[in-house]
Amino acid sequence: MFEASDLNIHNQRAEKLWRLLFLMMTLLLILPVLIILGVLIHKGGPMISIDFLFTEPKDGMTAGGIFPALVGTVWLVAVALLASVPVGVAAALYLSEYAPDNWLTRAINLAIINLAGVPSIVHALFGVGAFVLFFRFGTSILAASLTLAVMTLPVVIVATRESLQAVPQAFREACWNMGATRWQTIRKVVLPNSVSGILTGIILEVSRTAGETAPIMFTGAAFFLPFLPQSVFDQTMAMSLHLFVISTQVPGVPEALPFGVALVLITMVLVMNAVSIAFRMVLRSKKKW
Amino acid sequence: MVEADRSSAAETDEVVSTAPVKVDVRNLTISYSGKTALRDVTLDIRQNEIFGIIGPANSGKTSFLRALNRMDLFIPGMKVDGSIVLDGREVRKWRNVYALRRRIGVVFPLPVGLPMSVYDNVALAPRLAGIKKRARLDPIVERCLQRAALWDEVKDRLDSLGSLLSGGQQQRLTIARALSQEPDLLLLDEFSIAVDPVTTMRIEEVLKELKQELTIVLVTNLVQQARRLADRTAFFLTGELVEVAATSALFSGEVNDERTRAYVEGRFG
Ligand SMILES: Nc1ncnc2c1ncn2[C@@H]1O[C@H](COP(=O)(O)OP(=O)(O)OP(=O)(O)O)[C@@H](O)[C@H]1O
Ligand SMILES: [Mg+2]
């Protein structure tokens, strides 16, 4: 009565086959990541030292360290975050909590999606036109960071909106019915239950800007500048541009040097991601509903 | 106050008909993006009564409650026509909807424990109203939890998360929260859907007591619950008010409409 039919057996076999196929595809996906990391560590690992991290480049950038570029990248990312997070979070709050569902809102959402798809070199040209020339910031950290900020704004908005929308609508309605205004509801219920999600989302998305080259190339990042920036109106070196320069523009660079720079750059990004993922895991374990 | 004893429902019941009108609803029509959910409803709700609303799914009961506290402002596409007069004042002309809503407690079908401590859940409304001092909040929290028959179960863990209580407890928490607004009108929307029969009975006892102090609108799809609790009952069917009468009359077969008889006898719906 309950013996497996031929069809059952066939289905079971097929099931195993599909599973195997999908597993292999997944493993295939990890492969490039592993190879990249392996090569970087193998070739660039020996370069890494305290000296390498904390001294200036020397001999026409064929020797020495990367300190100004490292500091520059931190500046650029930090100022970009400072500019994009408040604007992005405010926009996401408006779109998710206040905006009526009409053509204007839909148009804005569409614009955000499209903005996320604009190539970074186009953002670079916009940055030159808007921040370097029109607002007369010159080529400076400010101009470069604002360009990065404009570029990351869509992902900040999307990440924030997703966290906000993860808060159940029933919570909002409960508050509204008690006579809370929208802002009171946001303050008491929506934000406390999404702020950590917003932060992790933003870190995860924005850590990518550390590696961007095009948007900062014409707006504030310098080819070679062995001093630390004193204010946002200075130019600065940056890891990504530095890597580009010593890989393609400067003769006589020892082979290991670019790999060392790349390794530091990718480590910065991975550390930010790891922090964000750890944060997210802690959050999940303390879920409140 | 209002001229009590508007004739609209005067034919119904001698016991409650002397009570002043709390909510006077005239020609209320509700639609969502042009689709009518409730059509031309006229009825009144008296002070200190439990006003039952029965009807099958999709009959517009929840929409009716939403119109009372002006939730239409916050629901995209929802439009309300006609007049709703609460304590002699048209709700649409209320200077401040938030003040209006604070006077009206609402309990939803599914319990909503907010993701904050039990204490904070109940203290939220007083805090929104500007009460900040612990010394003033403590007695309010205790009194509301007690009236909602929840105090004994949670008094030792007021700091634990409200959203992690059991379903029945969360529903009583929701009631406590509604009471913390010190409402004079309490709207209950199928509150017992997610609650066991024992807890339901306890809450029903609470409601009978609360009736002394406030007016209750009880939407329910348990016909027997309306029979147990409501002084008068309205029967809604696919967006229409079929009839409104004293509960005792409805259940003893004194109905004006055969559909009402069929529904209360459980022959359809
Ligand atoms: N937010 C909304 N947007 C659009 N239509 C809605 C909305 N809420 C209710 N409706 C529509 O209004 C009509 C009446 O719904 P309502 O929720 O008032 O019925 P109900 O009597 O409460 O039903 P139930 O017993 O299932 O809760 C339904 O046709 C429903 O689809
Ligand atoms: Mg309903």
Full pLDDT tens readout for chain A, 289 residues: 677 788 888 999 999 999 999 999 999 999 998 999 999 999 999 989 999 999 998 888 888 889 999 999 999 999 999 999 999 999 999 999 999 888 999 999 999 989 888 999 999 999 999 999 999 999 999 999 999 999 999 999 999 999 999 999 999 999 999 999 999 999 999 999 998 889 888 888 778 888 899 999 999 998 888 889 999 999 999 999 999 999 998 888 888 899 999 999 999 999 988 888 888 888 777 777 7
Residue at B70 is within a domain: no
Q: Summarize pLDDT for B176-229 with one digit per residue, the tens.
A: 999 999 999 999 999 998 888 988 998 999 999 999 999 999 999 899 999 999
Q: What is the dihedral of CA B121, B122, B124, B126, to 10 degrees?
A: 180
- Pick the most confident of A111-115, B71-75, B81-85: B81-85
A64: Cα within 13 Å, side-chain hemisphere: 16
Section B71-93 average pLDDT: 93
High-pLDDT (> 70) share of chain B, %: 93
Are A175 and B124 inside 8 Å of each other by CB? yes
Predicted model pTM: 0.84
Buried b / exposed e over B86-111, threshold 16 CB at 10 Å, is bbeeebbeeeebbebbbbbbbbbbeb
Domain ranges of chain A: 10-47, 50-286
High-pLDDT (> 90) share of chain B, %: 73
Residue at B269 is within a domain: no
Q: Summarize pLDDT for B141-156 with one digit per residue, the tens.
A: 999 999 998 999 999 9
Contacts of B101 (CB under 8 A, 6+ apart): A176, A177, A178, A179, B69, B70
ipTM of the complex: 0.87
Q: How far A197 CA sits from the closest chain B CA (Å)?
A: 15
Residue at B176 is within a domain: yes
* Confidence (pLDDT) at B12: 45
Predicted confidence (pLDDT) at residue B241 exceeds the cutoff of 90: yes
CA–CA gap between residue B264 and residue B17 (Å, rounded):
23
- Asked if A169 has any chain B CB less than 8 Å from its own CB, the reply is no
Pocket test of ligand 1: the residue of B61, B193, B237 to mutate, having most ligand atoms within 8 Å of its CB, is B61
More confident residue, B115 or A60: B115
* Confidence (pLDDT) at A1: 62
Mean model confidence pLDDT for chain B:
89
Which residues of chain B does A178 touch, with a Cβ-Cβ cutoff of 8 Å? 101-102, 106, 124-125, 128, 177-178, 181
Q: Summarize pLDDT for A99-119 with one digit per residue, the tens.
A: 988 899 999 999 998 988 899
The domain tally of chain B equals 1
Predicted confidence (pLDDT) at residue B92 exceeds the cutoff of 80: yes
Q: Which CATH number fits domain A50-286: 1.10.3720.10, 3.40.50.720, 1.20.120.550, 3.90.1150.10?
A: 1.10.3720.10
Predicted confidence (pLDDT) at residue B14 exceeds the cutoff of 80: no
Question: Taking the mean position of all CA atoms in its chain, how far away is CA B70?
Answer: 14
* Confidence (pLDDT) at B62: 95
* Confidence (pLDDT) at B9: 44
Sign of CA pseudo-dihedral A56, A61, A66, A68: positive
Predicted confidence (pLDDT) at residue B7 exceeds the cutoff of 60: no
Residues with CB under 6 A from ligand 1: B 32, 37, 55, 57-63, 75, 77, 221
Phi, psi of A236 (to 5 degrees): -155, 155
